Homo-oligomer: A and B are copies of this chain.
Amino acid sequence: MSQAFGDATAVERVAAGRYRGTIHDGWDIGGNANGGYVLAIGVRAMAEEAGRPPLTITAHYLSPAPPGPCELVVETVRHGRRLVTSTAALVQGDRELMRVLGTFGQPADSPITALTAGPPQLPDYANCVIGSDPSDPQVPQIAAQLAIRLRPGDDGFRRGQPSGIAEHAGWFSFADGGPIDEIGLLLVVDAFPPAVFSSGLPVGWVPTVELTVHIRARPAPGPLRCVFRTRFVAGGMLEEDGEVWDSDDRLVAQSRQLALTPRTP
């Protein structure tokens, strides 16, 4: 995987089901680490314990995650022949920041295939627009780690000209160009600006309550094509659905998160 991402999500096994990691500086938005990045740390510990890559992962976010050392407490719920189910608690000091429930295993060789949609139609990587300029002090720190390119127009919200449709599409790559593995996909699905920013709604910070990611295949090399959509904003909540496609036109991940809208705009 990407060297920088691998280093920033490394975990060390200190006892059965107990790992140490570090929430690194530079993967944050205003001092709090990106949710997909924090999830990747937890799932590296779970995947090592399970001996398999993640298949379906759900995280519930309990508290913002400042940089610093953290501990992962992994409980194996069921160790089956094909699938392993486990939970992880990510703890900093005496505060739990995130709880994860996941099932691990390899996708199967199955002759049954049917896809009703393909990757999003996008201009080439070079003809998409830089997601965020890392030299802009307004831009989240994590932007320097990534080389996201947005579909032209999906960056309009930054200039007060939202497209009016809560959909963002574009390319994902790490800034170091390194490969994206199953655990990298957990970051990919939480790395774009929230789709609701283009809706035209007066929406500010949208804290994630829950994020579920289905890993559908290990990505082939190269940047990934992604699309994220919010269809329903109501009751103080919104969902954001994501799809991620690799250079072989294969669906590699689906995601959905539930986030809170601010109570007052």
| A interface residues with partner B (beta carbon < 8 Å) | 55-56, 58, 60, 62-63, 77-78, 80, 83, 85, 87, 89, 96, 99-103, 107-117, 166, 199, 201-203, 209-210, 212, 214, 216-217, 231-237, 239, 250-251, 254, 256, 258, 260-265
Contact = CB atoms under 8 A, between A and B. Distances in A.
B101 A261 contact: no
Contact of A263 (B108, B202, B212): B108
- Of A60, A83, A96, A263, the most chain B CB neighbours within 10 A belong to A60
Copies in the complex: 2
A56 B87 CA distance: 17
Given A103-B60, A210-B58, A234 B115 contact: yes
Nearest to A110: B236
A103 B199 CA distance: 27
Contacts of A232: 114-117, 216, 251, 254
A114 B214 contact: no
Given A83-B209, A96-B77, A96-B78, A114 B233 contact: yes
A142 to B, nearest CB: 25
